[in-house]
Structure 1
Amino acid sequence: MYASASSDIREILAKVAQGDERAFTLLFNEYYGLLERRMFYFSKSEPMAQEMALDVFLNIWISRKALQNISCFKSYLLTISRNHAFNCLKKHKRQDKRRKQWLENTDRFVREQPEDTFDYYSRIDAAVESLPPQQKKIYLLSRSDKMKQAQIAKELDIALETVKKHMVLALRNIKSRARNIAI
């Protein structure tokens, strides 16, 4: 139906504004190469340029109703592509800055960890293992199996107050051992 996009751009834009996908395909085929080269000029990255060019065409399709009021499509395309490129580059720079900051924080956290951190956790595990059998069973049901105290009381067929007392004693024993380890 359309010989080329340059033959009558106003007619093509009117068709695109009405939702004609064939007209949009023609517009896309005519201007994609130009737009991709322009985006490469800004981004210096082939994949990023392709993605930004596709984003611009997606935005054109989404806001296609506005195309009826465009007198010079090429100028319009270059302007929105420049703005989109700047927005993408700003976003990329912010993400890169956050990523570097996260890596710095992670690196600092790892460096600040005591060398015996894993030994600390193994000693806590040993403290749990050294609990009296009933305290250990109640503690593990609560922490490992994520059971509530009422569920534990029902399962072990003991009073809720007994479960609470054993949990308090178990936590007190573990904390006491943890303090001794940390000193």
Structure 2
Amino acid sequence: MTLSNEKELLSEVSRGNEHAFSALFSAYNRPLGIHIFRITESAELAEEVVQDVFMKIWLNREALASVENFKAYLFVISKNHALNCLRKLAKERINQISLEDNVVELIPEEAAPANDYYQLLDMAIDHLPPQQQKVYLLSRHNRLKYDEIAAQMGLSRETVKKYLQGATHSITLFVQRYGNISALIALACLLF
């Protein structure tokens, strides 16, 4: 793609031309995905970043007419978004590790008697990171499928799957540490 052609394409996108946006996406989707994968080392996260960045570009398309070097612009905002996502994931992992390390201290013995296993499950869900909690509740309580959750939350299907697996793992650990067999059985019933 030549620079003059790209300028025209950006101008068309800034005026809301969806075909021009599609051409722009097609031209940069793959190289941007490879670039972001090198930063994140995660295909799912790279896919999510690319989708998020192009969504932001479309939502702020009027600004494209003044962009001089689109490739540099695209790669800088994508790198920044990827780094923000990695920071967020690191923070969620730290919170999860902290939860797992301190879970015994968080539950007073009288808080969840053996016959009140749903209260224990609710406590475990309450201690999930916000994104995992939302995905878990949409999946298990609202019975939405991965694709429906992904569309509602603006995530990739793989990210939804990863959040749900992480949530299930955290809840299971929470319940196991408390040692409530009834709650484990109830959790198994909820999972299937």
TM-score, reference length from structure 1? 0.56
Flag the structure with more relative contact order, 1 or 2, with Cα contacts below 8 A and sequence separation at least 6. Answer: 2
Tell me which residue corresponds to 1:113.
109
Instruction: Give aligned pairs, total.
Output: 115
Tell me which residue corresponds to 1:89.
86
The separation in 1 between residues aligned to 2:100 and 2:59, in whole angstroms, is: 37
Tell me which residue corresponds to 1:75.
72
Out of 38, 44, 63, the position equivalent to 2:35 is 38
Tell me which residue corresponds to 1:146.
none
The separation in 1 between residues aligned to 2:15 and 2:2, in whole angstroms, is: 16
Larger radius of gyration: 1
SS in structure 1 at match of 2:16:
coil
The separation in 1 between residues aligned to 2:62 and 2:101, in whole angstroms, is: 47
The separation in 2 between residues aligned to 1:25 and 1:45, in whole angstroms, is: 24
Tell me which residue corresponds to 1:55.
52
TM-score, reference length from structure 2? 0.54
Change (3 A) 1:108 1:5: farther
Tell me which residue corresponds to 1:102.
99
Structure 1 runs (4+) greater than 4 angstroms displaced:
4-7
Say if 1:5 and 1:30, in contact at 8 Å, map to a contact too. no
Tell me which residue corresponds to 1:139.
none
CA displacement at 1:71 relative to structure 2? 0.7
**How large is the RMSD of aligned CA atoms in angstroms?**
2.4
Tell me which residue corresponds to 2:144.
none
Say if 1:16 and 1:23, in contact at 8 Å, map to a contact too. yes
Say if 1:40 and 1:49, in contact at 8 Å, map to a contact too. yes
Say if 1:43 and 1:89, in contact at 8 Å, map to a contact too. yes
Tell me which residue corresponds to 1:8.
5
CA displacement at 1:105 relative to structure 2? 2.4
| Deviation per residue, 1:109-155 (Å, 9 max, x gap) | 46x738xx649x9xxxxxxxxxxxxxxxxxxxxxxxxxxxxxxxxxx
Q: Which residues of structure 1 form unaligned runs of 5+? A: 122-183
The separation in 2 between residues aligned to 1:50 and 1:15, in whole angstroms, is: 25
